[in-house]
């Protein structure tokens, strides 16, 4: 496999101008209204919304923009968390669940509108999400999910077995259709948002590693390799708490997810796999995700597993899981059997016990706002978090915003 261990998005990144260092080197004692820690899709989206709100923003990225989990993303903007609404109602409570699902649905639409308005070239394409029920018992569960979503005034339509079979061309007993979903190039979208943030005055620095944050009653200080920044706001957009905020590790669960991209489908294969006009996932305990790419390729993802202790073990896991994903893909679409993988990689999947992310402040960290644990669906939750952060740092936060953060666990 020529792309073993390499993300499909890496060699298809944005033009070099978007990868150059932003601004002068960060050093000495700086000031800012808000410091964004993390330069993935979440951090870039937040930098844009904060700068657009008129705040003086500094973004610090330890490596290169969009080089971490964003580059490992499946590039699907989905209006659902990892868990079903029924499950999240039980774990997080109905109010928190309904707020999160409704806000996520709105965020998908708003993100698409914003990317178009900013003219960011990221292959954005709106399409429905079909949640497949491969077996009869899955269909019974999924029908209850449709009913629960309708009761909560959320988008959901049940497709009969005949309709879902025509749309998916795979084994199905029916499917739930959600209209507000999209695909995009995650790296180009993140870099486009970074450029838009910079145009609004944000200062963006790559290869800057944050060592710690401290705070007094008046402000916070972000210490990094080369200097400090005194600020009234710190937005943590690192996906996982990391070493700086390791005290919050107990609030998250981190596993590895795996992704494979095929070589191009042959003309005969393309006729047999259906119209390829929707995103695919499954109403099962451990769902897989499928999206079609330009060049007649398929991206298939899933198979979460434990973190690996060493690079050799991780490399072996990527190879094994990539081959397993290809096998499972061939079970769903036997007509592609024999098609080799072109890329295979892993990515961190950070989740929570109740199925919803942590978006908001924490009582032990004054002046801080956290955007953590988005699961598989970083892009949609990232935009939700970016908008919530803009409200928080401009003193316009709502009661609904509070339910998306740590308050629901207190």
Residue 93's contacts (CB-CB under 8 Å, 6 or more residues apart) are 408
Helix and strand totals (H; E) in the chain:
11, 22
Q: How many domains does the chain have?
A: 3
- CATH for 199: 3.50.50.60
- Establish if 81 belongs to a structural domain: no
- Establish if 61 belongs to a structural domain: yes
Per-residue pLDDT, 20: 46
Beta strand 365-372 with 34-37: parallel, antiparallel or unpaired?
A: unpaired
Same domain (yes/no): 24, 173:
no
What's the 3-state SS for 323-374?
Answer: HHHHHHHHHHCHHHCCCCEEEEEEEEEEECCCCCCEEEEECCEEEEEEEECC
- Establish if 85 belongs to a structural domain: no
The Cα–Cα gap between 26 and 299 comes to 38
Whole-structure pTM value: 0.95
Same domain (yes/no): 198, 337:
no
Same domain (yes/no): 268, 340:
yes
Same domain (yes/no): 342, 290:
yes
- Establish if 345 belongs to a structural domain: yes
- Establish if 91 belongs to a structural domain: no
- Establish if 115 belongs to a structural domain: no
Same domain (yes/no): 241, 375:
yes
Residue 45's contacts (CB-CB under 8 Å, 6 or more residues apart) are 111, 190, 193, 382, 383, 385, 386
Task: Look up the domain containing 139 and give its range.
Answer: 129-178
Alpha helix positions (H), 241-281: 267-272
Per-residue pLDDT of the chain (410 residues; tens, 9 = 90+): 467 889 999 876 544 444 445 556 788 899 999 999 999 999 999 999 999 999 999 999 999 999 999 999 999 999 999 889 999 999 999 999 999 999 999 999 999 999 999 999 999 999 999 999 999 999 999 999 999 999 999 999 999 999 999 999 999 999 999 999 999 999 999 999 999 999 999 999 999 999 999 999 999 999 999 899 999 999 999 999 999 999 999 999 999 999 999 999 999 999 999 999 999 999 888 889 999 999 999 999 998 889 887 888 989 999 999 999 999 999 999 999 889 999 999 999 999 999 999 999 999 999 999 999 999 878 999 999 999 999 999 999 999 999 999 988 77
Same domain (yes/no): 144, 21:
no
Same domain (yes/no): 193, 337:
no
- Establish if 87 belongs to a structural domain: no
- Establish if 113 belongs to a structural domain: no
Instruction: Give whole-number Cα distances, 337 to 227, 330, 341, 342, 374, in Å.
Output: 55, 5, 11, 14, 33
Same domain (yes/no): 296, 332:
yes
Same domain (yes/no): 332, 378:
no
Same domain (yes/no): 165, 37:
no
């Amino acid at each position: 496999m020529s792309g073993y261990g390499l993300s499909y998005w890496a060699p298809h990144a944005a033009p070099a101008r978007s990868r150059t260092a932003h601004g002068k080197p960060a050093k000495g004692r700086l000031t800012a209204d808000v410091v964004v820690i993390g330069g993935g899709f979440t951090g870039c989206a937040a930098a844009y919304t904060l700068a657009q709100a008129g705040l003086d923003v500094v973004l610090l990225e330890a490596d290169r923009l969009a080089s971490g989990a964003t580059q490992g993303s499946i590039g699907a903007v989905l209006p659902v968390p990892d868990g079903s609404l029924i499950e999240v109602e039980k774990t997080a409570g109905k109010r928190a669940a309904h707020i999160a699902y409704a806000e996520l649905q709105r965020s998908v639409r708003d993100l698409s509108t914003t990317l178009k308005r900013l003219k960011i070239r990221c292959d954005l394409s709106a399409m429905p999400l079909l949640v497949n029920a491969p077996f009869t018992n899955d269909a019974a569960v999924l029908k209850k999910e449709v009913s629960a979503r309708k009761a909560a005034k959320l988008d959901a339509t049940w497709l009969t077995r005949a309709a879902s079979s025509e749309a998916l061309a795979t084994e199905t007993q029916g499917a739930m259709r959600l209209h507000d979903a999209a695909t995009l190039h995650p790296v180009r979208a993140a870099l486009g948002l970074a450029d838009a943030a910079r145009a609004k005055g944000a200062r963006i620095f790559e290869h800057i590693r944050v060592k710690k944050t401290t705070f007094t009653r008046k402000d916070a200080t972000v210490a990094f390799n080369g200097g400090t920044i005194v600020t009234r706001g710190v937005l943590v957009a690192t996906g996982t708490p990391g070493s700086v905020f390791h005290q919050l590790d107990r609030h998250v669960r981190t596993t590895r997810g795996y992704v494979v991209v095929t070589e191009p489908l042959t003309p005969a294969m393309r006729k047999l796999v259906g119209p390829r006009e929707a995103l695919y996932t499954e109403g099962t305990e451990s769902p897989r995700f499928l999206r079609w790419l330009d060049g007649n390729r398929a991206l298939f993802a899933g198979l979460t597993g434990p973190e690996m202790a060493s690079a050799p073990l991780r490399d072996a896991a990527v190879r094994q899981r990539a081959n397993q994903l290809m096998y499972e893909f061939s079970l769903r679409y036997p007509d592609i059997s024999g098609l080799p993988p072109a890329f295979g990689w892993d990515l961190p999947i950070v989740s929570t016990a109740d199925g919803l992310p942590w978006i908001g402040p924490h009582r032990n960290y004054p002046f801080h706002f956290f955007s953590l644990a988005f699961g598989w669906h970083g892009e949609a939750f990232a935009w939700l978090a970016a908008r919530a952060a803009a409200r928080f740092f401009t003193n316009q936060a709502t009661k609904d915003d509070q339910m998306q953060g740590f308050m629901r666990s207190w």
